[in-house]
Amino acid sequence: MNGAAPSAWPAPAKLNLFLHVVGRRGDGYHLLQTVFQIIDLCDTIRLMPRSDGVIGRVDALPEVAVEDDLCMRAARALQSSTGCSLGADIALEKRIPIGGGLGGGSSDAATVLVALNEIWQTGLDTEALASIGLQLGADVPVFVYGRNAYAEGVGERLQPIDLEDRWYVLVHPGVSVSTPQIFAAPELTRDTPLTTIARFASGTPTRNDLEPVVRAREREVDAALRWLQSHAPARMSGSGSCVFAAVAGEVQAQAVVAVCPQRWRAYSVRGLANSPLHDAVMAYRRVDR
């Protein structure tokens, strides 16, 4: 291992193409059915190994306390489950909106787990990393596996799924939504009938059960959905706040982005078949260390 070389690792965002709440576990967590689509909007995480075992934060987001920082928690979880005596300085370049329903924090955690497992040479396999990831958040495993997936359970029972190569318009309506608050809402529908991958693939209508709850509470999410809907069928991702619409291609995506009201941030994003994290792992392994 090269003791001092920093390396840069991507952490992609996801969209939930649909999200059905089908039940609730005894511990309060919700049983879901959802499809995760990985997209090319990415955070970048720079990792600098340290020999003293310390996990340090560099240029941290001021709004995220150290104890809530999923990058730090992921590094510590990997240390404690492997007994590794090495440490790392972690720098996060944030591009994925926080509280946007795009899985940014979960993806950052997954990237730290996967990348430090390479850098520290702790040798865990993907299943072991995903199971550490699940302790950090329900959306972490899908980013560890790095494949688009049909998910059940609390989001951890994953089946890889091939999705069409698609462009999306993504709109961040300038507000951040608290996932626990939305899942705790009394008005949330929690008994959507079970569907199947086959029904999803054949175009049976789906929805995001969290969307009406967020729309009723956040005027800007409702307004962004109505605006995007006037261009293409639009839906909210995860517990919001971001909304998205599939469009015919990159040119169409950019045309919609260009006319987005200035108070919101719009992105033209591409659906990916695989996480760029796995290309980064391959590239890292190819370099002679």
Out of 6, 7, 29, 163, the only residue in the binding site for ligand C5P (CB under 6 A) is 29
Of 206, 28, 116, the C-alpha closest to 129 is 116
Stretch of 5-13, 132-140, 164-172, 200-208 contacting ligand C5P, by CB under 6 A: 132-140
**Shortest Å, Cβ 206 to ligand C5P:** 17
Interface with ligand C5P includes 152 (CB under 6 A)? no
108, two tokens: 């950052």
Classify 84 in phi/psi space as left (phi over 0), alpha (psi -120 to 50) or beta: beta
For residue 105, the one-letter residue type is G
Q: Which of 69, 108, 139, 222 is catalytic?
A: 139
Closer CB to ligand C5P, residue 137 or residue 240? 137
In angstroms, rounded to a whole number, what is the distance separating the alpha carbons of residues 74 and 134?
10
The footprint of ligand C5P on residues 175-214 (CB under 6 A) is 179-180, 183
Q: Which of 43, 108, 118, 139 contacts ligand C5P by CB under 6 A?
A: 139
Pick the closest to residue 244 from 274, 217, 216, 264 (CA basis). Answer: 264
Task: For residues 91 and 8, give the distance between their C-alpha atoms in angstroms, rounded to a whole number.
Answer: 9
Select from 134-142, 144-152, 223-231, 279-287 the region that touches ligand C5P (CB under 6 A): 134-142
Residue 14 Cα distances to 102, 116, 161, 173, 286, angstroms: 5, 22, 14, 17, 27
Q: Is 162 a catalytic residue?
A: no
Pick the catalytic residue: 14, 69, 108, 222? 14
- Which of 10, 87, 97, 137 touches ligand C5P by CB under 6 A? 137
Question: Is 52 considered catalytic here?
Answer: no
| Residue 238 Rama label (left phi>0; alpha psi -120 to 50; beta) | left
Name the minimum Å distance from CB 11 to ligand C5P: 15
Give catalytic residue positions. Answer: 14, 139
Which residues are at the interface with ligand C5P (CB under 6 A)? Answer: 29-30, 32, 137-139, 154-155, 179-180, 183
